[in-house]
Amino acid sequence: VLLAHAAAVGKFRRRFGGTTAPRRRISIVNCGWMAWPLRAESPGDVAAADSFLEAQWAWFLDPVVFGDYPASLKTRAGADLPRFTAAEQKALAGSFDELGVNYYTARYVARPDAEHPATAAAEGIPKLNNLYHVAMYRGLAGEELIGAKAGSPWLFSAPPGLRDVLLWLDARYDRPVLMVTENGCDQPAALDLTEALAVDDAFRVNYIRQHIESVAEAVALGADVRAYFAWSLLDNYEWADGYAKRFGLVYVDYASPALTRTPKRSARWYAETA
């Protein structure tokens, strides 16, 4: 993927680049979560959270910015991680004009210990190799949930995570141009049982509003964020969940021969906000 990206960017820039306006721009998009240390006072948890972020974001973005994988990933993957040639590194480094950020949720991360055993696997996360304890809550009794639970089992509303991801990328890559290219949610199942409930999607309105506010906080703190895109315009085929999960601002009646579309409350709110 990365080498194909570098080749495509090279060809794109040779054809559409240059210094004369209008100069076309090209990007790469990465999807990841925010990782906060489970115990903020623990150096081990702080290091584990940063390593987790590198595995989520820097795996693809370090090569297109710096030309190589992060050192933590090289150590973790060893000989299983391909090595770039000097020519490939040169082609990769700087092969972007802005970075696309797909963000949905966050997790607490700790260095495994007797109290917090290693997490074997977690939906949406690459192989963990027993390096992390990944949690949706702080405290052994689960007293501090990371955010309101949406409809998908992995999705909790954690708006501050979007701010913190944007600031993490801003610091790591020396103030790149950023775009939030996906952000959205499905509603808890009980709120999507009927069309009338699904169309009156106050949960989604709150989710999107809070995340836009989080983007504004990141901008106020110096991040160069140029765009925000909600996911998604229409209810659609959502990966392994098929049509069971609805992320759209517009309701699609899958039982209707015409696939009748009805704007939800979130569509009206988003149009007024934009």
**pLDDT tens digits, 204-246:** 999 999 999 999 999 999 999 999 999 999 999 998 899 999 9
- pTM of this prediction? 0.95
Would you call the peptide bond into 232 cis, given omega within 30 degrees of 0 as the criterion? Answer: yes
How far is it, in rounded angstroms, from Cα 209 to Cα 228? 12
Distance CA 139, CA 143 (A): 6
CA distance 147 to 153: 12
- Listed in sequence order, the DSSP H helices in the chain are 2-16, 43-53, 59-66, 71-77, 86-92, 159-172, 195-199, 202-220, 265-273
pLDDT digits (tens, 9 = 90+) for 245-260: 999 999 999 999 999 9
- Reported as a single tens digit per residue, the pLDDT across 61-72 is 999 999 999 999
Per-residue pLDDT for 127 more than 70? no
Cβ neighbours around 138 below 10 Å, total: 17
**pLDDT (average), residues 126-155:** 86
Q: What mean pLDDT is predicted for residues 106-127?
A: 84
Per-residue confidence (pLDDT) for residue 216, from 0 to 100? 98
Q: Per residue in 141-173, pLDDT tens?
A: 667 899 999 999 999 999 999 999 999 999 999
Q: What is the pLDDT of residue 188?
A: 97
pLDDT category of residue 180 using cuts at 50, 70 and 90: very high
Count CB neighbours of 156 within 10 A: 21
Predicted confidence at residue 19, as pLDDT, reads 60
Give pLDDT, residue 146: 96
